[in-house]
């Protein structure tokens, strides 16, 4: 465990909690892509099957269980409890355009052709693109509430810190996970445009982020 990893995990947790609290307190999930949240729940569900096969540490188990529970809680709030506020008309990203290539790629490029390894690879590739319905929704409506942008900021920060973590681990532990690193870098690139808007519009300006 290095400082980048820990800070990355904390950022990830903060992002998820920000989103959950925003929905819970405002009793509304307006502006939130339910599709992205379902994809994240799918990411955690397929990746953390290793809870049953490998024991790494207590920290590892606790965090995985927490991420799973929080992601399902978020999906529950959006599609069940506060579904009246769910903006399905603007959450129109075609998820199959992500799922089909991701499923195909995870069969082609993996560490072992076994169900668990293919599902693990699937979760890595899917995580890289799972935020796209949310970014698409913001582009479509042309605006995002500041709290939604804080959520995206912490999610992007988590990815950036994981890259620093991989650089550290490569030098210190000789560890290099090609699948995770390549898709992690791709994923981080998706956030760059958003980071720019976040700094120039949200931090320096008003509450909402509106696109030009």
Q: By CB under 8 A, name the binding residues for other proteins.
A: 5, 9, 12, 50, 54, 56-57, 60, 63-64, 67, 162, 165, 169, 173, 175, 177, 180
Nearer to other proteins, 174 or 212 (CB): 174
Nearer to other proteins, 64 or 140 (CB): 64
Q: Min. distance of Cβ 97 from other proteins in angstroms?
A: 27
Q: Min. distance of Cβ 177 from other proteins in angstroms?
A: 5
Nearer to other proteins, 28 or 74 (CB): 74
Q: Min. distance of Cβ 163 from other proteins in angstroms?
A: 12
Following DSSP, what letter does each residue of the chain receive, concatenated? Answer: --HHHHHHHHHHHHHHHHHHHHHHHHT--TT--HHHHHHHHHHHHHHGGGGTT----HHHHHHHHHHHHHHHHHHHIIIIITGGG--TTT----THHHHHHHHHHHHHS-SSSSHHHHHHHHHHHHHHHTTHHHHHHHHHHSEE-HHHHHHHHHHHHHHHHHHHHHHHHHHHH----HHHHHHHHHHHHHHHHHHHHIIIIIITS-SSEE--
Nearer to other proteins, 6 or 189 (CB): 6
């Amino acid at each position: 465990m290095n400082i980048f990893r820990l800070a990355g995990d904390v950022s990830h947790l903060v992002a998820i909690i920000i989103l959950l609290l925003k929905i819970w307190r405002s009793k509304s999930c307006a502006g939130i892509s339910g599709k992205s949240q379902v994809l994240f729940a799918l990411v955690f569900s397929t990746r953390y099957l290793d809870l049953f096969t490998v024991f790494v540490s207590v920290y590892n188990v606790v965090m995985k269980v927490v991420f799973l529970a929080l992601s399902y809680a978020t999906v529950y709030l959006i599609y069940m409890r506060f579904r009246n506020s769910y903006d399905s008309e603007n959450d129109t990203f075609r998820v199959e355009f992500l799922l089909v290539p991701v499923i195909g790629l995870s069969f082609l490029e993996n560490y072992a052709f076994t169900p668990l390894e293919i599902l693990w690879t699937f979760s890595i590739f899917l995580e890289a693109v799972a935020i796209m319905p949310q970014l698409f929704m913001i582009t479509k409506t042309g605006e995002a509430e500041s709290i939604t942008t804080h959520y995206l900021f912490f999610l992007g920060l988590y990815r950036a810190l994981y890259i620093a973590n991989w650089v550290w681990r490569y030098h210190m532990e000789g560890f290099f996970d090609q699948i995770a690193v390549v898709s992690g870098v791709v994923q981080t690139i998706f956030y760059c445009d958003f980071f720019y808007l976040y700094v120039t519009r949200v931090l320096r300006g008003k509450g909402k982020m509106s696109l030009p």
